[in-house]
Amino acid sequence: MKFTAQQIALLLQGTVEGNPEAFVSGVAKIEEGKPESLSFLANPKYTSFIYTTQSAIVIVNEDFIPEKEISATLIRVKDAYSAFAKLLEYYNKFKADKKGISSLAFITSNAKYGQDVYIGEFVFVGDNVRLGDGVKIYPQAYIGDDTVIGDGTIVYPGAKIYAGTVIGKECTIHAGAVVGSDGFGFAPQADNQYQKVPQTGKVILEDFVDIGANTTIDRATLGSTIIRKGVKLDNLIQIAHNVEIGENTVIAAQTGISGSTKVGRDCMFGGQVGLAGHLSIADGVKIAAQSGVGSSLRVKDQVYMGSPVMPLSEYKRMLVYMKRLEQIANKVKELEARIEGTSK
């Protein structure tokens, strides 16, 4: 399908500079642009490519000032990167606009679903499930009893949603994700064996939450594990029972959060961060990759790094000394030798 510069500008609330009837049928990096492709320029490092790209249309920031002639039609917007991301989101929704229910899906008689849903082959939909309008459930997904899924949410192939889970609108749950499995609760016994503690709670995902492939979110022992509005979780993340993650927090791959830890809103965690249980993380905290968090972080908007974690400024100072450890050790040995010689 083809779109003109004028149509794209209307969608992005931008202005056209060049031919408003220029059209595109695909997207490309600006350095790899081809005829009928759409690109964007946000990083100044790539500015040189705008003069040579073959892309028909390029999205740029409003304040971009060309130094040479440009053959492409420009669409000027406030933030080229965000605008391009918005456009890709529309493009993906257009491509994934599936509707209908496969005859090979199993849906219990008392499950309810709204308009324009898609339920693919070998999907299981359990008792008393409620699916909103436009929900899409791809093949081989499992939707457990009493689950509620809001309008426009997408559940990709092979994802497993355990019973009683509540999922808001416009969420995305990627392939292989498991939402609502038992929390890791076992009580040690006198004979060194472990008695399983029943996990009777549930998981709540609020609106606009993204769950990456093979990420797992455990149900609560009592109450709820809660992922607040706008949270984005990467692939291969473990969220334990009774964890709460605040609005618009983003967490990169292979991070693990232990039980009953509360993470504030607008936080950012790098990959492979580990958090112990029963902690409190303040709003706006940023934690660098591979950091280990063993105690609560109560200062808002602070940046942390290391294992054990510490404020970034302290970590950098420590790193300076770490790089000089061998030199310092040799100096200590030299001083010890002098002291020993003097004492004789």
Give the count of beta carbons closer than 10 Å to the beta carbon of residue 130: 15
Q: For 278-331, what is the HEC assignment?
A: CCEECCCCEECCCCEECCCECCCCCEEECCCCEEHHHHHHHHHHHHCHHHHHHH
Q: Are strands 238-239 and 216-218 parallel, antiparallel or unpaired?
A: parallel
Reply yes or no on whether 278 is catalytic.
no
Residue 142's SS3 state is strand
Considering the candidates 136, 174, 228, 241, report the single residue annotated as catalytic.
241
Q: In sequence order, what E strands does 150-215 have?
A: 154-155, 160-161, 166-167, 172-173, 178-181, 186-188, 194-196, 202-205, 210-211
User: What Cα–Cα distance (Å) separates residue 234 from each residue in 130, 249, 268?
Assistant: 26, 11, 12
Give the count of beta carbons closer than 10 Å to the beta carbon of residue 191: 6
Q: Contact at 8 Å (CB) between 69 and 44?
A: no
Give the residue numbers annotated as catalytic, written as ranges.
Answer: 241
